[in-house]
């Protein structure tokens, strides 16, 4: 990916040497974790291509769109309503980062006891490693966990930041606050793009995002069968790419992939033998290229059949109804849909506990691995209630806390193997 894009990366003020090192490591990881899989679906070639061009062609597309007057909006949380951004003819990209590169720079301005996801996006910016951040006309933060909330104050010294207030409870007054925040966001996006958001533009945008969620729902239904037709690693990658790729093109390609999976399911073929232990992941989001735990799990005699996470079903489970007759009604419907997100930042969060148990039963899993990033208090605290809810349903759970480093891989592998042995 080097030569053709060097000039573009230089223009974006990336640290070319460090960036080349990052791409090299990424390529190696990808080869080991993804390309080495046997019986991979042909449709995954699209993901291989997108990933190989994640800092190349996709960035060029963003730059070309910017040259035509489009704005690029970066986000860190599934609470930011993409429909508003698309309705103003802008492009939204996910900025959450799942790599350690840049950690040292981040730790100069953030406490070491900050979760890896936050350190990663701050470190990427400070180390000039992320062409997505450098392409953004606006970066949208949100008041979810305290770590993110305070990190955006610091991040605002380095990039244009706008922060949405996310309620922490689900009472009527919280719903009112959330609707007013969507309206404030709409004004901000209209101002930065210069494009008014009309009812028809918003309805169209709702349709685009719903279609992407629907195809991911179809993928999740298809993979629920036994034998499992696609690896958990591949589904995680698909979910990660959904935050970067053009939504219409992405939906088309995942539709083709689902057609292929349907054929595999009809033929009774799977990616792993029928008796392979079925596990579900639950917890913190795994941003690209965080593939550590799924790789450990799937090389320990188990297969992942579901992700209860924002880079998983928490982001795709609910659609926005598009039957509002005017702009205000559509905004109401948007507010309703986004208030269903059961992030651990909410209290109480019984909905999430119910969803996890329901999902584990529907997918007929043998066990659940709860995944928390070190120093993430919301998910670490909630893990106790999740374990209790799963225990009450006789579903075993293993709780894992880790970060993006490779230091604990062997230790994690030992724990995961013992868990797989236990649930078998
Ligand atoms: S809706 S999960 S995307 S906030 S891991 S930064 S919570 S300390 S990412 Fe999230 Fe939105 Fe919630 Fe989803 Fe903080 Fe925890 Fe770090 Fe986290």
Q: In this predicted model, what pLDDT tens digit does every residue of 332-374 receive, in sequence order? A: 999 999 999 999 999 999 999 999 999 999 999 999 999 999 9
pLDDT in tens, 209-249: 999 999 999 999 999 999 999 999 999 999 999 999 999 99
Residue ranges of the alpha helices (H) in 304-376? 313-316, 327-338, 350-362
Any ligand 1 atom below 6 A from CB of 148: yes
Mean pLDDT of the chain: 97
The answer to whether the CB of 352 falls within 8 A of the CB of 344 is yes
Whole-model pTM?
A: 0.97
For ligand 1, whether the C-beta of 115 sits within 6 Å is yes
- Expressed in angstroms and rounded, the spacing between residue 227 Cα and the centre of ligand 1 is 32
- Band (pLDDT 50/70/90 cuts) for residue 3 is low
**Sheet with 277-283, edge to edge strand ranges:** 302-308, 277-283, 367-373, 397-402
Q: What is the C-alpha to C-alpha distance for residues 88 and 398, in angstroms, rounded to an integer?
A: 44
What's the pLDDT score for residue 96?
82
Residue 244 CA to ligand 1 centre (angstroms) = 18
Q: Is the CB of 151 under 6 A from ligand 1?
A: no
Q: Has residue 179 got a pLDDT over 50?
A: yes
Which SS3 state, helix, strand or coil, does residue 367 take?
A: strand
Query: Does the C-beta of 206 come closer than 6 Å to ligand 1?
Result: no
The protein residue with its alpha carbon nearest to ligand 1, atom 15, reads 376
Mention every residue, 6+ apart, whose C-beta is less than 8 A from residue 282.
Answer: 307, 308, 309, 356, 368, 369, 370, 371, 386
The share of the chain scoring above pLDDT 70, in percent, equals 99
| pLDDT surpasses 70 at 127 | yes
Q: What size, in residues, is the chain?
A: 424
Task: Identify whether the C-beta of residue 139 lies closer than 8 Å to the C-beta of residue 162.
Answer: yes
If one residue of 75, 98, 116, 145 were mutated to test the ligand 1 pocket, choosing by the most ligand atoms within 8 A of its CB, it would be 145
Residues 122, 119: Cα–Cα separation, whole Å: 5
């Amino acid at each position: 990916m080097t030569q053709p894009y060097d000039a573009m990366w230089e223009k974006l003020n990336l640290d070319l040497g460090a960036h080349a090192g990052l791409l090299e490591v990424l390529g190696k990881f990808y080869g080991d974790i993804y390309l080495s899989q046997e019986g991979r679906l042909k449709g995954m070639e699209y993901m291989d291509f997108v990933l190989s061009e994640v800092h190349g062609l996709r960035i060029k597309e963003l730059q070309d769109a910017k040259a035509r007057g489009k704005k690029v909006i970066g986000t860190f949380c599934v609470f930011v309503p993409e429909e508003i951004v698309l309705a103003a003819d802008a492009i939204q990209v996910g900025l959450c980062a799942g790599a350690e590169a840049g950690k040292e720079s981040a730790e100069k301005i953030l406490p070491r006891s900050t979760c890896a996801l936050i350190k990663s996006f701050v470190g990427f910016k400070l180390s000039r490693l992320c062409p997505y951040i450098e392409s953004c006309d606006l970066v949208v933060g949100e008041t979810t966990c305290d770590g993110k909330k305070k990190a955006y104050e610091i991040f605002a010294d380095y990039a244009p930041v706008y922060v949405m207030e996310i309620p922490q409870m689900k009472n009527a007054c919280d719903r009112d606050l959330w609707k007013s925040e969507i309206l404030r966001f709409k004004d901000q996006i209209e101002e930065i793009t210069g494009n008014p958001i009309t009812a028809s533009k918003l309805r169209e945008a709702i349709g685009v995002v719903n279609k992407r969620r629907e195809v991911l729902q179809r993928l999740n239904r298809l993979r629920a069968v036994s034998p499992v037709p696609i690896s958990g690693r591949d589904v995680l990658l698909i979910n990660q790419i959904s935050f970067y790729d053009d939504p219409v093109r992405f939906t088309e390609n995942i539709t083709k992939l689902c057609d292929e999976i349907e054929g595999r399911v009809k033929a009774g073929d799977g990616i792993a033998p029928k008796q392979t232990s079925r596990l579900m992941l639950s917890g913190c989001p795994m941003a690209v290229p965080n593939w550590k735990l799924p790789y450990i799990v799937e090389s320990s005699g188990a297969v992942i059949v579901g992700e209860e996470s924002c880079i998983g079903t928490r982001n795709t489970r609910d659609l926005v109804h598009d039957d509002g007759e005017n702009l205000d009604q559509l905004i109401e419907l948007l507010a309703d849909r986004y208030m269903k997100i059961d992030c651990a930042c909410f209290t109480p969060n019984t909905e999430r506990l119910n969803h996890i148990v329901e999902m584990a039963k529907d997918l007929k899993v043998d066990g659940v691995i709860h995944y928390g990033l070190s120093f993430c208090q919301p998910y670490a605290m909630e893990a106790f209630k999740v374990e209790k809810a799963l225990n009450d349903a006789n579903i075993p759970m293993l709780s894992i806390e880790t970060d993006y480093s490779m230091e604990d891989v062997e230790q994690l592998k030992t724990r995961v193997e013992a868990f797989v042995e236990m649930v078998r």
